Amino acid sequence: MTDTPMNELPKAYEPAQVEDKWYKFWMDKGYFKPAIDPNRKPFVIIMPPPNVTGELHLGHALTATLEDIMTRWHRMKGEPTLWLPGVDHAGIAAQVVVERALAKEHRTKYDLGREAFTKRMWDWANSCRSTIRKQHMRLGASCDWDREVFTLDAGPSLAVRTTFKNLYDKGLIYRGERIINWCPRCHTAISDLEVDHKDLSGHLWHIKYPLADDPTRFVTVATTRPETMLGDVAVAVNPDDERYKGLVGKKLMLPLMDREIPIVADSVVDMTFGTGAVKTTPAHDPTDFEIAQRHNLPLINIFNDDATLNQNAGRFAGMDRYAARKLIAEELAQMGLLALVQDYAHSVGHCQRCSTVAEPIASRQWFVKMEPLAKPALEVVKSGQIKILPERFEKVYVNWMENIRDWCISRQLWWGHRIPVWYCKCGEVVVSVDTPTECPACHNKDIEQDPDVLDTWFSSGLWPHSTLGWPKQTEDMKYFYPTSVMETGYDILFFWVARMITMGLENTGKIPFDTVYLHGLIRDEKGEKMSKVKGNVMNPLTLIDKFGTDALRFGITTGNSPGNDIKLSENRLEAGRNFANKLFNAARFVIGFLSKSDIKPIDYTHLPVEDRWILSRLSRTEAQVASFMNDFQFGEAERELHDFIWGEFCDWYIELAKIRLQSGSEPSPLPVLLKVLDESLRLLHPFMPFVTEELWQHLRDYLVGEPESIMVARYPVAHPDLVDPISEEVIEGLIEVVRSIRNVRAEHKVEAGRWITAELHSGETQAELSQYKSAIEALARVRPLSILADRFKGESDSERLVLVLKNLEVVLPLSGMIDLEAESKRQATELAETTAQVERLRALLASGFASKAPPQVVAKEQSRLEALEDKLRRLKG
């Protein structure tokens, strides 16, 4: 029967025994490295760089899987394909990790000093980079590892300094004193985007400020932070507030500080909040800062870097902010100046990195003027030059860019890109790409570099072009830029995507990519965000060890659409493992029958119906997958492949082929089995690379002119000439018949070995179905089977059970087979379920679904509705 031994493939698929082998094979062959071909447009993805803060998590696994799907697909289409990997130095986050490690040694960064601490950071970063690279390899990421980039490498560092100087020379970078968010734990400024706002239960304190010229009269203010009153420079009221019109311009005595402060009128004051009078602390509140600018008021900063009070707080200096709050409230109460304390829930900003409550503080920092930079970045999205998927995020992007604020880019850290600014004692400020040796004004060699570093997002905002060599005009920059797709999570649309578009246009004059693909977040099976505190974190490497890489990739991507969160459970991973095993067993069966002497070209003019059916379904699947892939609906493409490979090829075509192989009937199904298995493996390869490579390597001996690896084999395309609706109708009828009889047998607990009689009333399909009489008998365990040309008009009664299918009816005798009462209930249930399905689909298609879903998905649901409506009519008789 075969010259290929059945045991060439083991009985079960063991991922651990093949994954490392094939990844090393791909690396050794250099398949991940694209060749520059000036005559062909490349496909390029730049990896969102993981932080050097530890190991990869499931979010990274999702990112890597989606990008690998795109990369492998385009590579198989024959395009020069670059997926460039990289890692981010992760300024604050990485420094926090290393400082925590030092704390366990009872040391701080100050004990080491800047130089030694930076060396410790580099040791940590290099270790993490190695770990991250190995983990990506285990995920099957087909990156060009020779091009891997770190944000602190020489190339990106040059890009950072060049960008800073260019923006500074244009007047778009400036240094000034403004309100920023300060993290007392990290001891650095953080951007608005790095602040998580949490609703907390607190209090609203109503404090009486005496008039300076009449201590018996008061203006009462309300505040959630009594300690900040020590830095008050005024009380503001709305100029239209009749309660305070006679007091504007007068002086108040600031309690506890014995300092006179004015009452000013400003339209920003909300007359409905508290008492309508607002204490003004411009050094610690952004609104108060703006009031101070308009009224030429001073700034009094009362906080040290660790949020203890400084010398400007008088006798409260040195106290923790919350301890000071409590003492101040007590003293005000003793003085009779605390009018009221109310329970009050309000939003409080926390540092995203360490969860410490952030303090708004007026500080001298470096800023980028964003409005002029945002305009072109806004236009390229509005005009469609850059497409954001899903489209609903375009509105979010536009809204943010239209209301953008200047960006604080300086951070008080020791780890990162040092700000390329030097100061001389003569007052000269030097901004330079290269490190200056002396002051250009006075030639003093004793110049000091700014101690701060740049916000991490400043360097990662340059990522698409800095990784390719900009500002140098490298071959990579000329050929691979602009890139094709930026794939990342929707949660960093502002942090990163908007800044890449802004900086890419500014530095290169070109868009950095033409498509932004935003994936959702991976949540647990209950839909809750994963966190170590909740104990619901799933480690991707642990899951790979248990289920295999392909199963993990399948579980986190199948059926998912751009921008939608994923509920992940082990059930999804088990489904992925089961699919890999199903495919493996099917391939093992086919390969077990193959011999080179038996493999002949397919004679398309003399094919049995089931061969024409599977080739038709294969072509339709190829067309549908191509449509989904082009629309970035990778989860739907994967589901389509799963349904075809498992539900049609494995469950039905192989079963029909077995009957022909066992009987030795001609033509042999082997050429068709080989073609469908080959193309199925290639279709699936971008999604499940390891199992497909393992199986294809065993299949390759029977294929002509194919390359050494499936990953560089051509991706299949649809052949419309093979689409055969008549064959599809026949085999779908056969499947429906067998499935319906199997369901009846299972429902009524008919013994597996017992044969039952059956009639098929098949109308116009009688001749075609008659060819499959023995197949239906074998698959449904029915004998004798009568296939009639009429359509059955009767209904189920005490002697027979009538199954109403799509285009035919099945009549089964009841004698001795089923419980009549149970059958009556089954019919009622089937009628109710079909009615419910029809109503649900009608409602779905009448809703916004039809305008939002891909056209092919809408068409599929419309077709289902029409079939169900026909079935419902026949069930009702």
**E strands along 546-653, which residues?**
566-568
CA distance 583 to 685: 12
CA distance 167 to 159: 12
Give the highest mean pLDDT range of 50-59, 458-467, 809-818, 819-828: 458-467
Residue type, 512: P
Statement: residue 518 has pLDDT above 90: yes
pLDDT digits (tens, 9 = 90+) for 49-92: 999 988 888 989 999 999 999 999 999 999 999 999 999 999 88
Which distant-in-sequence residues (6+ apart) come within 8 Å of 141 by Cβ? 64, 67, 68, 83, 85
Any idea which of 22-31, 123-132, 548-557, 832-841 has the lowest mean pLDDT? 832-841
Statement: residue 30 has pLDDT above 80: yes
pLDDT digits (tens, 9 = 90+) for 657-700: 998 898 888 889 999 999 999 999 999 999 999 999 999 999 99
Q: Where are the domains of the chain?
A: 188-360, 547-723, 756-875
Query: Where does the pLDDT of residue 632 fall: very low under 50, low under 70, confident under 90, or very high at 90 and above?
Result: very high
| Cβ 661 vs Cβ 593: under 8 Å | yes
Structure tokens at 522: 């991976």
CA distance 505 to 461: 11
Q: What is the mean pLDDT of residues 854-859?
A: 81
CA 584 to chain centre: 30
Element of type H or E holding 573 = helix 570-593
Any idea which of 221-225, 565-569, 667-671 has the lowest mean pLDDT? 565-569
Q: What pLDDT does residue 233 have?
A: 94
Mean pLDDT, the chain, rounded, equals: 91
- Point out which residues pair with 208 in neighbouring strands: 220
Q: What pLDDT does residue 167 have?
A: 98
Task: Please give the share of the chain, as a percent, with pLDDT higher than 70.
Answer: 97
CA distance 864 to 415: 59
CA distance 564 to 830: 33
* pTM greater than the 0.75 cutoff: yes
Within a 13 Å sphere around the CA of 671, how many CA atoms are in the beta-carbon half? Answer: 17
DSSP for 51-111, written as a single string: BSSSS--HHHHHHHHHHHHHHHHHHHTT--EEEE-EEB--HHHHHHHHHHHHHHTT--HHH
Q: What pLDDT does residue 594 have?
A: 86
CB atoms within 10 A of CB 842: 13
Q: How many helices (H) and strands (E) does the chain have?
A: 28, 29
Sign of CA dihedral 353, 354, 360, 364: negative
| Cβ 458 vs Cβ 417: under 8 Å | yes
pLDDT digits (tens, 9 = 90+) for 315-346: 999 999 999 999 999 999 999 999 999 888 88
| Between 148 and 355, the higher pLDDT residue | 148
Where does 756-875 sit in CATH, by number? 1.10.287.380
Count Cβ atoms within 10 A of the Cβ of residue 841 and give its class: 0-12 exposed, 13-18 middle, 19 or more buried.
Answer: middle
Count Cβ atoms within 10 A of the Cβ of residue 566 and give its class: 0-12 exposed, 13-18 middle, 19 or more buried.
Answer: buried
- Rg of the chain over all Cα atoms, to the nearest angstrom: 35
**Distances from the Cα of 222 to the Cα of 344, 501, 533, 738, angstroms:** 11, 43, 36, 76
| Between 438 and 766, the higher pLDDT residue | 438
| Cβ 540 vs Cβ 552: under 8 Å | yes
Element of type H or E holding 821 = helix 820-846
Structure tokens at 755: 């044969």
Q: What is the mean pLDDT of residues 183-209?
A: 87
CB atoms within 10 A of CB 52: 27
Class of domain 547-723: mainly alpha
| Between 378 and 816, the higher pLDDT residue | 378
CA distance 495 to 513: 17
CA distance 815 to 468: 77
Is residue 197 helix, strand or coil? strand
Element of type H or E holding 448 = strand 448-449
Q: What is the mean pLDDT of residues 750-755?
A: 84
Q: What is the mean pLDDT of residues 759-784?
A: 86
| Cβ 442 vs Cβ 484: under 8 Å | no
| C-alpha closest to that of 235 among 260, 212, 206, 264 | 264
Q: How far apart are the first and last CA of the chain?
A: 51
Q: What pLDDT does residue 264 have?
A: 94
Task: Say whether 532 counts as a known binding-site residue.
Answer: yes
Query: Where does the pLDDT of residue 1 fall: very low under 50, low under 70, confident under 90, or very high at 90 and above?
Result: very low
CA distance 248 to 264: 6
| Cβ 750 vs Cβ 724: under 8 Å | no
Assigned fold of 188-360: Isoleucyl-tRNA Synthetase; domain 2 (3.90.740)
Statement: residue 196 has pLDDT above 90: no
Q: What pLDDT does residue 820 have?
A: 58
pLDDT digits (tens, 9 = 90+) for 692-747: 999 999 999 898 889 999 999 999 999 999 999 999 988 998 998 899 989 888 88
Q: What pLDDT does residue 532 have?
A: 62
Statement: residue 169 has pLDDT above 70: yes
Statement: residue 2 has pLDDT above 60: no
**Is 756-875 the same fold as 547-723?**
no
| Cβ 741 vs Cβ 809: under 8 Å | no
DSSP for 250-304, written as a single string: -EEEETTTTEEEEEEE-TTS-TTSTTSEEEE-TTS-HHHHHHHHHHT------B-
Q: What pLDDT does residue 663 have?
A: 84
Q: What pLDDT does residue 823 have?
A: 63
| Cβ 688 vs Cβ 550: under 8 Å | yes
pLDDT digits (tens, 9 = 90+) for 297-309: 999 999 998 999 9
Any idea which of 146-150, 171-175, 672-676, 823-827 has the lowest mean pLDDT? 823-827
pLDDT digits (tens, 9 = 90+) for 413-429: 999 999 999 999 999 99
pLDDT digits (tens, 9 = 90+) for 482-496: 999 999 988 887 889
Q: What pLDDT does residue 587 have?
A: 95
